[in-house]
Amino acid sequence: MSAATTRTILHGDLDAFFAAVEQRDRPELRGKPVIVGGGGPRDRGVVSTASYEARVFGVHSAMPLRTAGALCPQGVFLPVDGAKYQAVSREVMVVLRRFTPLVEPVSIDEAFLDVSASQRMFGDGAEIGRLIKDDVRSSVDLTISVGVATSKLVAKVASDLRKPDGLVVVPPGDEAAFLAPLPITRLWGVGAKSAEALRMYGVRTIGDLAALPDDLLARRFGKNGPMLGERARGVDADPVGDRDAAKSIGHEHTFDVDTSDRDQIERTLLAMSEGVAGRLRDSGVRASTITVKIRDTTFRTITRQRTLPDSTDLTEPIFRTALALARPEVRGVRIRLLGVTASGFGQREQLGLFDPDDPRRRRVVEAEDAVRHRYGERAITRARLVGSRLPAPFERDPMTPVDPRSMDAPDDPSASDTAPDGTGRDDVDGRDRLDGTEPGEDPLDA
Ligand code: TTP
Ligand code: MG
Ligand code: MG
């Protein structure tokens, strides 16, 4: 790869994130085994994360709390304070954006940064890594582990290698040699199933995988096989933040019985707007474009979209816009399906210090989010929605960090709602739907 095209990519991931926030806010917990999860050591439920002091006892994420209690009876067990961690996550993303606008959050506590163009201002990748670690520590009082490399793949492996408080720099050209001795399970996208299958070929390390011929990989793993080999050699051209451009968050609802009832249509739009707004907030983004999709009994499908003067992550402006777009189209028509989609994302923090929303209103919304995260989407229901008997299409595991790569994949019911006669026509394409295996997914676990 020529110098002109060599990129400098950072991956940052906070150390023992939920537990570290609790230790930060309660100094008496520092140095102690802290276990954050949905209850105490005698409760059902699992560990969200454990401080490094607790990990010494074998406690780890996703372990039943009771097991954690048996392994580490002296542990301090704390409930999950989702709203607090979301807020801290946003603060960290603000810090990261001081170094480049090319920041791609991948979960609540990690992000990729392309700092290729930032080096004249801040120094080389290693120096930027150090600056970021210092800045995260002084601004939010947390430690972040950082990997620096020429690709997302290698940076991700590097950030994980010397946790906690790690900084691992892989110089250009050293990618394959850096990866080679590591166990195959370290390779991002190789899960338990793929690792097991690879073991049959004597593959233990990433270097073993890199040495397998492409045609063998293709035979065994199909179209993802050769890609697996490339990644083992540290080849990954995936750009930082690329998926943001085509990204959208949407909900759709197909009525059990086609309807022309205005109230039912409006309540459905409200419920969907609420779901979309909640997911925008979870992802730390605001949308500037709202699209509604309307399919009638004859499978005629139209979409109408409007760009807002100010981007938003709140229900009201989304609902108002969706309603204004839908009203003229649904009059006197029997509706089969409705959809509300938000797109045109900017990061919330890019708007700077000025928050166009009433801060009190935002606090209420954030309190609602906390309840939603803890008890599920149905816990908070506007008076108007009571009795609407909408199914709960908006539920997702509150403990699963939102992964922008798969944002729309799990709950897009439109995929099965195709016109039997092929006349269905969508003005919005399915760009945001994922097909095939993405980097970061196990080709066999998928
Ligand atoms: P991770 O970054 O995977 O883990 P971590 O930050 O706790 O520890 P480290 O990165 O130092 O290894 O996840 C970030 C947060 O996401 C974590 O603090 C809690 C939450 N989480 C869960 O709730 N359940 C899980 O199974 C995992 C893996 C994470
Ligand atoms: Mg982490
Ligand atoms: Mg993480």
| pLDDT tens column, 66-113 | 999 999 999 999 998 888 998 899 899 999 999 998 998 888 899 999
| pLDDT tier, 384 (very low <50, low <70, confident <90, very high otherwise) | low
Compute CA distances 80 → 38, 53, 60, 277, whole Å.
6, 18, 15, 22
Mean pLDDT, the chain, whole residue set:
81
- Please name the residue that has the structure tokens 């899960």: 191
**165 & 187 share domain:** no
**183 & 105 share domain:** no
> What is residue 150's predicted lDDT score, i.e. its pLDDT?
97
- Phi-psi region at 43: left, alpha or beta (left = phi > 0; alpha = psi -120 to 50): beta
**379 & 326 share domain:** yes
- Residues with Cβ within 8 Å of 16's Cβ and at least 6 positions away in sequence, in order, are 49, 50, 51, 52, 55, 164
CATH number of the domain at 349, please.
3.30.1490.100
**188 & 256 share domain:** no
- Please name the residue that has the structure tokens 């960090």: 401
Let me know if residue 422 belongs to a domain. no
CATH number of the domain at 207, please.
1.10.150.20
**166 & 185 share domain:** no
196 included as an active-site residue = no
Q: What is the mean pLDDT of residues 378-392?
A: 46
Let me know if residue 442 belongs to a domain. no
Ligand 1 mutation pick, 21, 49, 65, 81, max ligand atoms within 8 A of CB? 49
CATH number of the domain at 155, please.
3.30.70.270
Q: How far is CA 395 from the centre of its chain?
A: 15
Let me know if residue 240 belongs to a domain. no
3-state secondary structure of 290: strand
**218 & 254 share domain:** no
> What is residue 272's predicted lDDT score, i.e. its pLDDT?
94
Residue ranges with CB less than 5 Å from ion ligand 2: 13-14, 17, 109
Assigned token pair, 183 = 């166990």
Let me know if residue 46 belongs to a domain. yes
DSSP 185: G
Let me know if residue 238 belongs to a domain. no
Q: How far apart are CA 345 and CA 365, in angstroms?
A: 19
Ligand 1 mutation pick, 89, 109, 112, max ligand atoms within 8 A of CB? 109
**Which residues share a beta bridge with 76?**
34
Let me know if residue 411 belongs to a domain. yes
Strands (E), 231-300: 248-259, 285-296
- Packing angle between helix 359-375 and helix 262-283, nearest 10 degrees? 90
Let me know if residue 382 belongs to a domain. yes
Residue 78 CA to ligand 2 centre (angstroms): 17
3-state secondary structure of 82: helix
**Which residues share a beta bridge with 251?**
340
**212 & 113 share domain:** no
Q: What is the pTM of this model?
A: 0.62
**8 & 55 share domain:** yes
| pLDDT tier, 10 (very low <50, low <70, confident <90, very high otherwise) | very high
| pLDDT tens column, 294-338 | 999 988 889 999 999 888 999 999 999 999 999 999 998 999 999
| pLDDT tier, 372 (very low <50, low <70, confident <90, very high otherwise) | low
Q: What is the mean pLDDT of residues 358-387?
A: 62
Catalytic pick among 53, 110, 175, 377:
110
Instruction: Give residue ranges with CB within 6 A of ligand 1.
Output: 13-18, 48-49, 61-62, 108-110, 163-164, 399, 401
**53 & 9 share domain:** yes
The answer to whether residues 286 and 351 touch, using CB atoms and an 8 Å cutoff, is yes
DSSP 372: H
Cα angle 201, 202, 205; round to 5: 115
| pLDDT tens column, 391-444 | 333 323 333 333 333 323 333 333 334 333 333 333 333 322 222 334 444 555
Q: Give counts: helices (H), strands (E), the chain.
A: 16, 12
> What is residue 319's predicted lDDT score, i.e. its pLDDT?
95
> What is residue 298's predicted lDDT score, i.e. its pLDDT?
87
| pLDDT tens column, 116-169 | 999 999 999 999 999 999 999 999 999 999 999 999 999 999 999 999 999 999
| pLDDT tens column, 209-227 | 999 999 999 998 887 788 8
Let me know if residue 430 belongs to a domain. no
| pLDDT tens column, 189-198 | 787 888 888 9
**Which residues share a beta bridge with 296?**
335
**96 & 157 share domain:** yes
Helix (H) or strand (E) holding 152: helix 152-161
Residue 263 CA to ligand 1 centre (angstroms): 43
Domain that holds residue 215: 177-232
**35 & 143 share domain:** yes
> What is residue 5's predicted lDDT score, i.e. its pLDDT?
74
Domain total in the chain: 3
Q: What is the mean pLDDT of residues 62-69?
A: 94
**31 & 125 share domain:** yes
